[in-house]
Structure 1
């Protein structure tokens, strides 16, 4: 079988490493930490920052993989493209990797091709950001090329901008710049898809809800093929048109949109599967397609086709647990929660003895769960049963 190099080895890369192993491949995984979760499942773990292109290229030259990839990680996409090109392996190319990770490039693309997107300004210093805020009024500031909602803030005044500008800038990776852009009021959606020899097809759509105390951080992604308030067919067709126009040659995509004034506005789009196990767990349930396995096969030169199943009765949810702040002294009920029918996974990101806080970004959420069902009512019933099973006790 083949040798596969996976760049990034956190919790969300474990599924694609496991998929590659289940297909009989040897896996080399690189990540910043010696105790990276995905190293447990890989044949070889090599310590390297995913942003360090040359170190990852050195690892590739050492092991000579047949394919190099990542999933559920934006910041690894440019490194994967670079290593693939240098090793003469199949990949999406550095130009496409830049388009699918640089938010300003996305905005330029949308403006050029007539897709709705927020008015935005590329700012390299505070003065430019202040001028942009004056033009926009209420705005949102975000790093040029980060992930996990880090460094994203809603700003209404110069005082707020001054408070968060350096924080936001610190999360930009390849270029020290931020975007100050029009704040789009409205409901947010995600759209996942896969490009195979059958063309590009949508594999899952979700409607997002957010924490009441932080509108930039989602507390739920509800997946279905229909919505009483929004036209999912229109959203699906828009996403197909956009990804096709952007020229994704093959592989997975994950996009986020907001709906305002009768239009779906692109917030961002990535050339990888949805994080927190959307691509590995939710997509197969909602579409009947194992896009991770197809992605690996395509990288190895195999021709793959898709037959997406739009089962209107299916629902699934990626939810994020929220508990009051405090010092946790005891956790109970997790085994009961995991035994609820339809629960694919439920996990806490803290332990007894920890102090927990309200979520500031995607990575600081205190727990998550993935749950599937054959109807909306069944989904919510199972969700309540699962949540009621978990008991958190606090001390002083």
Structure 2
């Protein structure tokens, strides 16, 4: 029996764990301790921080794993690279993992390889950030270089927001620096892709549904996404240049773009599949289990990515506008037909956060339709039949 190590035990990794189990693979989960559903689903669990690459490598050696992977999170990618290189496994290498996990290093690599991206500077404090603002064009985006899930990202219009932005970003990073970059005015969208044996196996361009707080946070996605032929070609070109810049191979790719007319800018590239229902969107759009292909790729079992089917579909997170205890959770929908998935991460009695970033989700919805219009209509009908009641009262 093959052994697969999955880094992370949260809601984003749970389908990956469950899929590998259905495939008859022994699953070892590594994650810091917490109330994460992946622990119970795995064959064995280790309560270790996924960023502790040396400890994870030691476990991987002792368990004699055949593969390692994750999905929906950037923080574990460097550790995957460390284990892949040390044990000769299939997956993203350490150098590429380092580049794709640090926005400062990533942006430098983009510039060196002709990737279109916004102008940027490094800063360590408010004084250096202010200097960057003097040299760059407003508005700006302050970014922690090592965070994921839209954490540590603040849009800044002028100097009055400087102190807040610096504090917010430095609280979200393990480094003593961050980046300040020019905010590109345009329409955000993205792509899911997979590169295996140095061949780009598919590219699925998708639209994004956004929530705007300190910065834009994706709360859903949809396909197909209509672009001009020129913009499609440019998106593919920028993606291919990004892959070369980061040296990516044998991994899923999560690409964040922004479009000004037909000109595509690369925000960032992740060496893993996206969160926010994106693997489910790939599976629905193309008609195969994307999680299964990710497992096969990690184990070196020749994954297949057929792209002949194209089924309009849309996904969206369930979220709450306030924190509190769930006292009511009602769903009058039946999964089946065009309703692909209705998933709740919490139960009655659980405390839920006010939504700020992607990890504050309550659950997710995935639907399909004959075309995009009917898929969106189906999504709205599903949402009408879901009622989540939250109480802010705390019992003494």
TM-score after normalising by structure 2: 0.89
Contact in 2 for aligned 1:325/1:355 (Cα 8 Å): no
Question: Equivalent residue for 1:4?
Answer: 4
Question: Equivalent residue for 1:112?
Answer: 112
Question: Equivalent residue for 1:181?
Answer: 181
Give unmatched runs, 5+ long, in structure 2. none
Question: Equivalent residue for 1:364?
Answer: 360
Determine the C-alpha separation between the residues in 1 that align with 2:290 and 2:320: 34
Question: Equivalent residue for 2:284?
Answer: 285
Question: Equivalent residue for 1:373?
Answer: 369
Question: Equivalent residue for 1:125?
Answer: 125
- Name the CA shift for 1:104/1:237 in 2 (closer, same or farther; >3 Å): same
Q: 1:214 Cα deviation (Å)? A: 5.7
Determine the C-alpha separation between the residues in 2 that align with 1:10 and 1:231: 35
Question: Equivalent residue for 1:387?
Answer: 383
Question: Equivalent residue for 2:341?
Answer: 345
Question: Equivalent residue for 1:211?
Answer: 211
Give unmatched runs, 5+ long, in structure 1. none
Deviations 1:240-272 (A, max 9, x none): 443245432212101000012541110110111
Contact in 2 for aligned 1:252/1:291 (Cα 8 Å): no
Deviations 1:328-364 (A, max 9, x none): 6742531x23437422333455655677675322223
- Name the CA shift for 1:228/1:382 in 2 (closer, same or farther; >3 Å): farther
Contact in 1 for aligned 2:277/2:364 (Cα 8 Å): no
Q: 1:322 Cα deviation (Å)? A: 5.0
Determine the C-alpha separation between the residues in 1 that align with 2:20 and 2:323: 40
TM-score after normalising by structure 1: 0.89
Question: Do structure 1's residue 260 and structure 2's residue 260 form an aligned pair?
Answer: yes
- Name the CA shift for 1:88/1:219 in 2 (closer, same or farther; >3 Å): closer
SS in structure 1 of the partner of residue 300 of structure 2: coil
Equivalenced residues, count: 391
- Name the CA shift for 1:269/1:394 in 2 (closer, same or farther; >3 Å): closer
Deviations 1:183-236 (A, max 9, x none): 111111110011235820334221123235565122332221534798435423
- Name the CA shift for 1:169/1:338 in 2 (closer, same or farther; >3 Å): farther
Q: 1:239 Cα deviation (Å)? A: 2.0
Deviations 1:113-149 (A, max 9, x none): 2221011111223321121122223201010011011
Question: Equivalent residue for 1:247?
Answer: 247
Aligned pairs for 1:1-396 within 5 A:
1-33=1-33, 35-136=35-136, 137-173=138-174, 175-197=175-197, 199-211=199-211, 215-224=215-224, 226-227=226-227, 231-244=231-244, 246-279=246-279, 281-309=280-308, 311=310, 314-322=311-319, 324-325=321-322, 330-334=327-331, 336-339=332-335, 341-348=337-344, 358-393=354-389
Deviations 1:146-171 (A, max 9, x none): 10111111112233120131221222
Determine the C-alpha separation between the residues in 2 that align with 1:168 and 1:103: 13
Determine the C-alpha separation between the residues in 2 that align with 1:366 and 1:6: 22
